[in-house]
Structure 1
Amino acid sequence: MHQEIQGQERLFQGAFLGSETRNVEFKRGGGEYLSLTFKHHLRRYVCAFLNGEGGSLLVGVDDSGLVQGVHCSHREEDRVRLLVDSILQGFKPQVFPDAYTLTFIPVVSANASSTPLKVIRLSVHAPRAQAEPQLYETDQGEVFLRRDGSVQGPLTVHDIQEWCRQKWAAEQSKLEQRVKALTVEKEQLQRQLQQRSPSSCTCCLL
């Protein structure tokens, strides 16, 4: 169950959020995840989302889509924010702060805990269209792609060349379709002009 009360978004432990998709990735978290593993997933999935259509990484949700939450104090939130900003600042091309949103969603649990439970949601917005295809790389110089719900990478030189070839082929196909549509439109306009033009003009004087 997911609720938003008085502007405060919150989730209930055990709630079902759906299944993972091409644009949504779940990670259970827990244990030493935030201090040991999160930075690796951060690089991998954010890079893949930037090289695709955007997406969200949710930490504190298991693979079956059930909300579990991770123990995350305010101090831990600050540490995660600094980590995210620090790593993404090293991406190339530059990733601006408005390209992603980091949210800590409170998790309501029947079991009382001294440390609050949260779902950490890192949403990467779809990149703006560029004049020519480009690939983002992490601060460690690695490139990842999201394909069929899984992440491919780090890419080899051959993989990158193949990606560029497919991108250019897709762009060329779009341009060819656009030219074809414009040609059809031009022919239709020419026919309309010919139909409206008088075939002859006769003047009679009485």
Structure 2
Amino acid sequence: MELAYKGKSIKGRNLTNLKKLASQGEGLRLEFKFKAKYPEKIIREMVAFANTKGGQLLVGVDDDGTLNGLKFADEEEYVLVREIERAITPELDYSIERVRLLNESEILIFHIPESENKPHKAADKVFVRHKDRTIQASKEIREILRGLKKGKSLRFNYGDKESKLMAYLTEHPTITLDTFAELCAIPKKQASRTLVLMVLTNVLRYEAREDGDRFMPI
């Protein structure tokens, strides 16, 4: 059991620790895949981890956490590594750990740290993680990720729409883009720019959601 990372070998986990990890179930930073039959789906998960909080992707594990293993782990790893190099931009930082089961099959564990080079794309689409799901990032989230990467010092004018927004958030836990635009009677494009800027200036934080991102105070 070794962890191969940029040409280095690091001692990996034992089977007992792997079982404990799998027993946690899928979540924000953990995903299971039965095999690499559809590598493009696995690539999306890796991109989402890199664009969010990082995570571990276990290949050879069923959705319920059952350790089935891969009979031909070398082939599965080759397919996935080739797809990572082909489909993900910019280049993804990751490592691979292999754990052998009692039946001699193996589990592949892809370790993906949170990236400092966001946003990563798979097939030219940006994905992020929400709880145990991978979703396509909205325009606002893509802009936020790009802004965080630039690391520039930003400021914004605290005007009428910002006052209305913060007043709303004293009575409601979150706000969506549509609600903010309606609240202030402004175009969605203007509301979008304002929310993005307030996240980048550490006034708001966000939660990516399929049914509309949520924004809330820090």
The normalised TM-score by structure 2 is 0.55
Structure 2 residue aligned with 1:108: 102
Say whether residues 1:135 and 2:140 are aligned partners: no
Structure 2 residue aligned with 1:171: 200
- Name the SS of the counterpart of 2:58 in structure 1: strand
Q: Cα–Cα, structure 1 residues 168 and 117, in superposed 2: closer, same or farther, change >3 Å?
A: farther
User: Which residue, out of 81, 84, 89, partners 2:85?
Assistant: 89
Shift of 1:59: 1.5
List 4+ stretches of structure 1 deviating above 3 A.
7-10, 79-82, 165-168
Q: How many residues align?
A: 140
Which structure would you say has the larger Rg?
1
- Name the SS of the counterpart of 2:125 in structure 1: coil
Say whether residues 1:145 and 2:142 are aligned partners: no
Structure 2 residue aligned with 1:125: 113
Identify the structure with bigger relative contact order (alpha carbons < 8 Å, sequence gap 6+).
Answer: 1
Question: Structure 2: which amino acid aligns with 1:66?
Answer: T
Q: Cα–Cα, structure 1 residues 168 and 58, in superposed 2: closer, same or farther, change >3 Å?
A: farther
Question: Structure 2: which amino acid aligns with 1:106?
Answer: R
Q: Cα–Cα, structure 1 residues 52 and 136, in superposed 2: closer, same or farther, change >3 Å?
A: same
Q: Cα–Cα, structure 1 residues 169 and 163, in superposed 2: closer, same or farther, change >3 Å?
A: farther
User: Which residue, out of 11, 30, 33, partners 2:15?
Assistant: 11
Q: Cα–Cα, structure 1 residues 87 and 167, in superposed 2: closer, same or farther, change >3 Å?
A: farther
Q: Cα–Cα, structure 1 residues 8 and 93, in superposed 2: closer, same or farther, change >3 Å?
A: closer
**Native 8 Å contact 2:40 2:83 kept in 1:** no
Say whether residues 1:66 and 2:66 are aligned partners: yes
Shift of 1:118: 0.9
RMSD: 2.8
Structure 2 residue aligned with 1:22: 28
CA deviations on 1:94-128 (whole Å, 9 max, x unpaired) are 32xxx20112210114xxxxxx3111111101212
Q: Cα–Cα, structure 1 residues 8 and 22, in superposed 2: closer, same or farther, change >3 Å?
A: closer
Structure 1 residue aligned with 2:212: none
Shift of 1:173: 1.9
- Name the SS of the counterpart of 1:50 in structure 2: helix
Structure-2 separation of matches of 1:117 and 1:168: 49
